[in-house]
Structure 1
């Protein structure tokens, strides 16, 4: 057994862990009762087509489940197999027609099953797995027969309710229950049984059998068939006669009810061994004094050792009048005489009770009494403690009406039409503890009406016509604890109305016409008052600066101020609740209060329950800190308050809160961080709130799927107001999970770095980027040119790239020497097309010439356009592998200065360049002749060159015979590379 309990606890712990990591603490069709620890669930008025859909997401820890008023037609197989711990299952008030064979499989722990108020007409083998079932309720169905094996496995069944069906075969029914050795109660009322004929015996354990409202005309059972039954009800079987009971063994009967049958008392007592003390004589046509006298004689002289009976129940006998001493011939009744539901119009001073000196309770309810007369000089019934005249037509109560019952402790005069209560009507009732005068027509309460009721503890005057409570009306009621004045027309409470109420704890003034709260008046009750009900009065205030009427009620625990007429309180004064330091419950619903001050609830340090439903006007903005002192609050109802935001400033201090109703508010989102901080919150109702199905609620959606501490009732029924047809629990949140922070950081970082590098890039790489752009343009133009013209056609032999500072050398030296040798040269100032973009002219010149001659000087290096021209020419050299670039240096340029010109350095490392002879040459004429010869040869060569041309150049150099100085000069200016050829012989 211990191992089983341990295993069960372990499984529960594992399940709760799985819940927290996998499932949402919300259920599609059911709600969990708050603080039930996942055990008690209700599924009410659901529209799902089957039970499996309703209960599929309930946890296996459920012990109590109620599914009621749903549109269900059947209970399918294995509907509850995942709920093995169910102890109670209620399926009443549905439309169930069919239950499948294995519907309740795996419910071996179930003890109570309620299937009443459905449309079941037959059941077969549906309870075979319910071994521990103790209570089975099948009332209000359409069952017309019972399968003999239907209850076979219900060995622990104690209560079986089959009332209000169409059963007619009692023998089959008995056969189905004969083995139920623990069955104690069987209710077959309101069926169609005609006889108790049987083929087997009732279980000996059966003690209560209800057969009222059938069609029994004979019992037809074995004489000992009912031997062990103690409570037997045959009422409302109008055809059943005394003869049916002949020789029937009823020796153990403790209560026998035969109302509205044809059984006579004399024959019953003659035919059976039933004890006379245990018969309910209601509805046996004992309508006159003669019949009652005979009854008393039979009871008095019946063979029994007992001389007293505990109850004499004479309801529904059409008794109209009882003579003096009518019941004096009856055995002494110690407990109750019940004359309710007769036709008595007058009871006098209860003289018919003469001789009943031990009676404690007399009930004369539901009769036709119109007046209670004065009984000042009649016999007194000192034993009588409880007297009830409820549901009569009593209009007047005379003085000293209860002088004959001086020891009464409980008097019920409610639900009559009493308009006049004599000043002395209640005189002498010094032992009375409870007085009910509610639901009458009383208009006045006098200061001597209750003068003798010094022991009274409960006085109920609810629902009368009282308009004013005069001074000292209750001044002698020092022991009164409960005073109910609700439902009257009270407009005024006199200054001393409550004087003398030194023990009053509960005061009910609801549904009256009070316009304000008299702090001085209630203040006199400050030492004892715990409950004050002022609902539905006419209380209103027109200024916020009103002193608290509760300043002295430091012990008050419960205060109700709901629904003030006609429009609510509307304006709540500042510090209205000051002084209520012990208050635990406050009701303010339906008051349309225009606003709450942040100090409104400051004094309510011990408040546990607060309801503000329908209290706001329009969109309510609860001020920050309004609940700051309510750390003990457990339940908060703020439905339909127009609340737009669930903020930490308003709700953040409610650390003790367990239940929060926010239904029908204007909130579009909910702060999950605040929910996390409310560590005791276990239930939050958000139904009918227009929650947005947008990214602001994506975290809330995820939170509801992972949190197991907090229940969201009917979460799966919350629709998206901004996306009709969508549901909050599954709206698409994928777009919300882009890491915007990362993207913003990345973009900001890149932008910052770019802003940092731009100045450096501008200084260092501006022209490289620019050249790159131009190179791309030149390459694209060249490709287009080649596609357009397959054969290479050049307009010039060479394009001369130079700076204007070197224009004299070009015009006086270069141009005459080359053009005299029939070379066609392109010069920008002479041959560029007018009106054309300068870049396009440069590109056309470079690609329209076989060679490009760059005249390099200090000025050339400083020129942007010259740099562009050499860049374009070097692109053809390196990328297109065409020998098109010739460098001519007009002056020596240091190595370090050339190092910043990457393209030119690269050309100098790959190709021979020419140096214009300067003043250092010993023979300038010969050097210049060699210079022009080499330049012309280079212009004549193809783009790829040849070895023969190289050899001719070497021979020409030898014939010229350049001196040692010139040779050394040229050698120092040529690059050191095995693939290069030199200009010197």
Structure 2
């Protein structure tokens, strides 16, 4: 009879499991209790067995929850439906689940406040077995929160989570009747009124995150001169504005755990810590930027400490801040900075003989001193990912006898020496070398064999191609698992030796040539400029192009008097040169830029008459720019620069400064003798050379031009310039 009963039971179980093969839920049994966990469900699963003890539907997409969905689960003790998209929920949905002890409907922000209130109050009337209730991140109005708490007084709750669900301050004695509470999580209440926690003598965990606290509040009751929460062991004060630790005792004598992540702490000293609590063994101080820690600030009772992302600069001045923490087992210093020029890493962990977990990821570490891990015999997990380590030294791991997991992902390792791994302790069986730029040559062959060995577990950071070859080029991007070179191939590879010799020879030749170039750099430079001058001279003398003008004169309208009285009479009347002047020679109705380009292209040279007005004019600057472009394009002396006056600093543009530095220019003077020299130099610059620029006569070869037109008067117009 017993055999038939067992056979029937197993048959029902097999059929049930067969029907659930295609479901998105997983099933497990623990102490004969059926636990169900579902993911990615958009509706409440209809095929969950009615004897389910625990149902977890977190992070699904369920929009409605009806009484008919959960009515059949008469043995249900734990129900989670957090992080869904609930909009509609029956207020008496759990009226038939009289054994329900844990309920989590957190992070369903679309549920209306009055629905939440009615749901909780109905639950309090029907179910006295409830022990844990999670209502975090729900939209609950100020008027409803007090009613909800009043309803909860009928329960014997030990855990209540109202994180980010409350708004505004709480009244005195708000939770005074909930004497069974052991864990209370509050958020978005400000100002904080600790008298709301009166009479919670069993409370051991309190969360006051995101409450705009500027200081750690005092837990002393001034009326009775005793602490409000004598049993408090765990305190969360994350995401506040706390800058300093208390300067007086605050009634937290039994506090063992404190989390102050994302605050504004600036300084920590041993005196501050002793006022807070002498029994602290766990501290989370992550994301307190630019915090300054004095020597021996932490109590010797500290076992676990996190200082992640605090922008601490660890230098020789703070190399002993952990020296008294001989009981510490866990330490996280990730996303901080270490002075690479000092031996701070070699001294920082001295004396931490009980340390089991150490995290130093994303600290920009390039070099690890040999004494860094000295004495850490009990270290089990070491994380060094996200640094710049390129070389592993076998001496690093001499004292790491208990090491089981090593994370060196995302560093600069190109290879891993065989003698380094050979000295790893026998307990080390989990590696993470992913994201390193490996060079897949014969030097990495033994590591590939280790990679394929079942004795070691290589983590991959969630990707299947985290171990890739970066060099040589023909192997770039390939997975290490496809690196098929064998030991025999490496033994007979003589090409590598030949390649080494060739590379050494090339390097030697390059070094000799580099030394020779540096030794004779002045002679080489002189020869280069001499050849360039001769080439420009030859190109200009052999230029057979026919130009309409000898020079295009670029000037500002304010300098027209000098152009008419000085420049044109000498060059056009005396020297029979033909100049292009925009006031006289440009075609009306044509675009200004087209006129500029046409004038430069049809002139053998461009004469820039520079004054302060010229330097301040955008159109004059454009003419200079286009002329410079022609100079670069044709590589000949086609630009002549004349300064009529000293240019003020505010008018000097970068382009004009560059032109004045690179090219010799003429300066107009009022001195009669200087003017004669000025005109001679200008004629030599504008006329086409007839002999070598190195041996030419100082006198210009003046030839009358019969085809030059007679000078015509230049018409003037009002305004600064005729151009826009």
TM-score normalised by the chain length of structure 1: 0.41
Q: Equivalent residue for 1:386?
A: 330
- Among residues 113, 137, 140, which one is paired with 1:190 in the alignment? 137
What does 1:34-433 align with in structure 2 at a 5 Å threshold? 38=18, 40-43=20-23, 64=27, 87=34, 92-96=39-43, 107-116=49-58, 117-120=60-63, 123-143=66-86, 147-165=90-108, 166-169=111-114, 171-178=117-124, 179-193=126-140, 194=142, 195-198=145-148, 200-202=151-153, 204-219=155-170, 223-235=175-187, 237=188, 239-243=189-193, 245-246=195-196, 248-262=198-212, 265-266=216-217, 268-270=219-221, 273-275=228-230, 277-283=232-238, 285=240, 287-289=242-244, 291-294=245-248, 297-299=249-251, 308-323=254-269, 325-347=271-293, 350-353=295-298, 356-371=299-314, 373=316, 380-394=324-338, 396=340, 398-403=345-350, 405-433=352-380
What is the DSSP-based 3-state SS (H/G/I as helix, E as strand, rest coil) of the residue aligned with 1:384? coil
- Shift of residue 177, structure 1, vs aligned partner: 1.7
**CA distance 1:105–1:374, change in 2 (3 Å):** closer
Q: Distance in 2 between matches of 1:167 and 1:251?
A: 33
What is the DSSP-based 3-state SS (H/G/I as helix, E as strand, rest coil) of the residue aligned with 1:459? strand
Q: Equivalent residue for 1:546?
A: none
Q: Could you give the per-residue CA deviations for residues 511-530 of structure 1, whole angstroms, max 9, x where no partner exists?
A: xx45676469969999x945
- Shift of residue 150, structure 1, vs aligned partner: 1.8
Cα contact 1:184–1:207 (8 A) shared by 2: yes
Point out where structure 1 has 5 or more consecutive residues left out of the alignment.
Answer: 20-35, 45-61, 66-84, 493-512, 541-562, 577-985
Q: Distance in 2 between matches of 1:570 and 1:423?
A: 32
- Shift of residue 357, structure 1, vs aligned partner: 1.9
What is the DSSP-based 3-state SS (H/G/I as helix, E as strand, rest coil) of the residue aligned with 2:256? strand
**CA distance 1:167–1:451, change in 2 (3 Å):** same
Q: Distance in 1 between matches of 2:247 and 2:4?
A: 68
Structure that is richer in helix per residue: 2
Matched, 1:439 2:379: no
Cα contact 2:438–2:469 (8 A) shared by 1: no
**CA distance 1:228–1:470, change in 2 (3 Å):** same
- Shift of residue 285, structure 1, vs aligned partner: 4.7
**CA distance 1:171–1:226, change in 2 (3 Å):** farther
**CA distance 1:522–1:395, change in 2 (3 Å):** farther
Cα contact 2:307–2:333 (8 A) shared by 1: yes
Cα contact 1:171–1:196 (8 A) shared by 2: no
Q: Distance in 1 between matches of 2:135 and 2:443?
A: 57
Q: Could you give the per-residue CA deviations for residues 627-678 of structure 1, whole angstroms, max 9, x where no partner exists?
A: xxxxxxxxxxxxxxxxxxxxxxxxxxxxxxxxxxxxxxxxxxxxxxxxxxxx
Q: Distance in 2 between matches of 1:429 and 1:114?
A: 41
What does 1:783-932 align with in structure 2 at a 5 Å threshold? none
Q: RMSD across aligned C-alpha pairs, in angstroms?
A: 4.6
Q: Distance in 1 between matches of 2:405 and 2:95?
A: 52
**CA distance 1:123–1:480, change in 2 (3 Å):** closer
What is the DSSP-based 3-state SS (H/G/I as helix, E as strand, rest coil) of the residue aligned with 2:247? helix
Q: Distance in 2 between matches of 1:15 and 1:529?
A: 37
- Shift of residue 213, structure 1, vs aligned partner: 1.3
Point out where structure 2 has 5 or more consecutive residues left out of the alignment.
Answer: 490-724
- Shift of residue 208, structure 1, vs aligned partner: 1.4
**CA distance 1:42–1:278, change in 2 (3 Å):** farther
- Shift of residue 255, structure 1, vs aligned partner: 0.5
Cα contact 1:120–1:141 (8 A) shared by 2: yes
**CA distance 1:569–1:247, change in 2 (3 Å):** closer
- Among residues 423, 448, 463, which one is paired with 2:410 in the alignment? 463
Q: Distance in 2 between matches of 1:380 and 1:412?
A: 19
- Shift of residue 151, structure 1, vs aligned partner: 0.9
Q: Equivalent residue for 2:8?
A: 10
Q: Distance in 1 between matches of 2:21 and 2:373?
A: 50
What is the DSSP-based 3-state SS (H/G/I as helix, E as strand, rest coil) of the residue aligned with 2:206? strand
Q: Distance in 1 between matches of 2:8 and 2:339?
A: 68
What is the DSSP-based 3-state SS (H/G/I as helix, E as strand, rest coil) of the residue aligned with 1:177? helix
Cα contact 2:408–2:432 (8 A) shared by 1: yes
Q: Could you give the per-residue CA deviations for residues 916-972 of structure 1, whole angstroms, max 9, x where no partner exists?
A: xxxxxxxxxxxxxxxxxxxxxxxxxxxxxxxxxxxxxxxxxxxxxxxxxxxxxxxxx
Q: Distance in 2 between matches of 1:387 and 1:279?
A: 19
- Shift of residue 375, structure 1, vs aligned partner: 5.9
What does 1:663-742 align with in structure 2 at a 5 Å threshold? none
Matched, 1:565 2:478: yes
Indicate the structure (1 or 2) with the bigger Cα radius of gyration.
1
Q: Distance in 2 between matches of 1:575 and 1:160?
A: 64
TM-score normalised by the chain length of structure 2: 0.54
What is the DSSP-based 3-state SS (H/G/I as helix, E as strand, rest coil) of the residue aligned with 1:234? strand
- Shift of residue 340, structure 1, vs aligned partner: 1.6
Q: Equivalent residue for 2:615?
A: none
Cα contact 1:375–1:403 (8 A) shared by 2: no
**CA distance 1:316–1:283, change in 2 (3 Å):** same
Q: Distance in 2 between matches of 1:521 and 1:11?
A: 50
What is the DSSP-based 3-state SS (H/G/I as helix, E as strand, rest coil) of the residue aligned with 1:249? coil
Q: Distance in 1 between matches of 2:51 and 2:311?
A: 52
Cα contact 1:242–1:267 (8 A) shared by 2: no
What is the DSSP-based 3-state SS (H/G/I as helix, E as strand, rest coil) of the residue aligned with 2:395? coil
Q: Could you give the per-residue CA deviations for residues 826-879 of structure 1, whole angstroms, max 9, x where no partner exists?
A: xxxxxxxxxxxxxxxxxxxxxxxxxxxxxxxxxxxxxxxxxxxxxxxxxxxxxx
Q: Equivalent residue for 1:719?
A: none
Q: Distance in 2 between matches of 1:564 and 1:284?
A: 43
Cα contact 1:346–1:371 (8 A) shared by 2: no
**CA distance 1:517–1:204, change in 2 (3 Å):** same
Cα contact 2:413–2:438 (8 A) shared by 1: no
Cα contact 1:150–1:176 (8 A) shared by 2: no
Q: Distance in 2 between matches of 1:86 and 1:42?
A: 22
Q: Distance in 2 between matches of 1:150 and 1:41?
A: 28
Cα contact 2:26–2:37 (8 A) shared by 1: no
**CA distance 1:400–1:473, change in 2 (3 Å):** farther
Q: Could you give the per-residue CA deviations for residues 448-502 of structure 1, whole angstroms, max 9, x where no partner exists?
A: 333443454433222211123346446654455236251254657xxxxxxxxxx
**CA distance 1:219–1:518, change in 2 (3 Å):** same
Cα contact 1:442–1:466 (8 A) shared by 2: yes
